[in-house]
Structure 1
């Protein structure tokens, strides 16, 4: 794992569905994988516990975490062979998913910024594929959302895995194995669920200079 210290700072839903049943056009294999709610997660899997998210250990996948000095995580990125998967997990209503609404807002925002945006269907249902302008040229992005019981996981693929899902293998495997720990407390819809470094890593990082990367094998 790579830890970057800051300076102070399941189940799948179709558009319009109010339940949490898998989409009809999702493959049978996809319906048997995660992200899982913690109440349904398979046992006996080694995972990195970040509080509301538990990330499975996948060969070749590096977990990069940016956190405040107090251990609160601001960003989680998985990396593999030049591709990256940025993860976020958010509170959602009990009655329905929010990915359809979030997806529409992301698409609108990207188009306002001049990006080329297309909606496609992937393993979890509707995805957004975008090509954006950067100082280094055109960059591909792919947004994936998974609605679960009172939570939503949003994934942002970058690099080769954004343009071609077929090369996203290990990152997709990590997404399939995610576990969400929602908790029972009430939270505003879309509020990010809290992520924290494991205590031993936070304690180790507290003794190191700010803005450093610390490999942890």
Structure 2
């Protein structure tokens, strides 16, 4: 897992806040009129150890693994991906995952209500189920999504699921509209129903920092994600040692925001 020091001089190894940091967060919430994070890069936010991925800074801790999701943009003669761009960051905790994406948004209005309706309609049209529910970040979307069963595990699933050719996956879509940005989280795995695992991922989402930048961008355009400098150096060194090394492996499928 990549690790990078956050704003503070001494990095912290978990997501627990000190009493001083908690008081500061409360003061900031009063000043900004919000209930806390996710945070804009210009906010005064709690100092935690975070990985800097450019548009988003993701908090980390000892029980968390951070993965990058890459969309292939090039292919070799056999059709294998050899290049790509970062399109999402996934934080894994136990049997749960939180996928993070940040998008440009209009200056005076948010996009989460519209995106949530469109996402729910797409899931329903694909044969799944989706409904709004209230959560810690406001209205969220809770869904049951049909997913294909990989061939390598088909002999491990019950006969009735194997015969229908797909399984149901519960998913939670959470979203927060910030100043000229929108942050979406997609929760999968045990945390959808397990409160203990969800609390860890909720803390992660609440402590994400979004850097919108000043450049004009159309609404819903994905904010640029980049690898931390030390990760780029590690990949370059490993690539020099192994000509067959390919860091751009396709990640999990991502629901697009159009």
The reply to whether TM is greater than 0.5 is yes
Q: Is residue 94 of structure 2 the alignment partner of residue 81 of structure 1? A: yes
Q: Tell me if the contact between 1:145 and 1:152 (Cα under 8 Å) persists in the aligned partners.
A: yes
Q: Distance in 1 between matches of 2:177 and 2:111?
A: 7
Q: Tell me if the contact between 2:235 and 2:247 (Cα under 8 Å) persists in the aligned partners.
A: no
Change (3 A) 1:135 1:86: same
Structure 1 counterpart of 2:55: 52
- In the TM superposition, what is the alpha-carbon distance from 1:212 to its structure 2 partner? 7.9
Structure 1 alignment gaps of length 5 or more = 3-30
Structure 2 counterpart of 1:108: 121
Structure 2 counterpart of 1:127: 140
State the TM-score, normalized to the length of structure 1.
Answer: 0.78
- In the TM superposition, what is the alpha-carbon distance from 1:72 to its structure 2 partner? 4.0
Structure 2 counterpart of 1:27: none
**Structure richer in helix, relative to its length:** 2
Q: CA RMSD in A?
A: 2.1
Q: Distance in 1 between matches of 2:65 and 2:44?
A: 22
Structure 1 counterpart of 2:181: 151
Structure 1 counterpart of 2:103: 90
Cα deviation 1:131-157 (Å, max 9, x = unaligned): 122234211011001000000000000
Q: Which stretch of structure 1 is more off in the superposition, 70-79 or 173-182?
A: 70-79
Q: Tell me if the contact between 1:72 and 1:197 (Cα under 8 Å) persists in the aligned partners.
A: no
Q: Which stretch of structure 1 is more off in the superposition, 78-87 or 50-59?
A: 50-59
Structure 2 counterpart of 1:7: none
Secondary structure, aligned partner of 2:146: strand
**Matched residue count:** 185
**Greater length-normalized contact order (CA 8 Å, ≥ 6 residues apart):** 1
Q: Tell me if the contact between 1:119 and 1:126 (Cα under 8 Å) persists in the aligned partners.
A: yes
Q: Tell me if the contact between 2:84 and 2:248 (Cα under 8 Å) persists in the aligned partners.
A: no
Q: Is residue 215 of structure 2 the alignment partner of residue 185 of structure 1? A: yes
Q: Distance in 2 between matches of 1:189 and 1:94?
A: 9
Secondary structure, aligned partner of 1:32: coil
Secondary structure, aligned partner of 1:34: coil
State the TM-score, normalized to the length of structure 2.
Answer: 0.67
Structure exhibiting the larger radius of gyration computed from Cα positions: 2
Q: Distance in 2 between matches of 1:62 and 1:123?
A: 23
Structure 2 alignment gaps of length 5 or more = 3-33, 73-81, 150-166, 240-244, 250-258
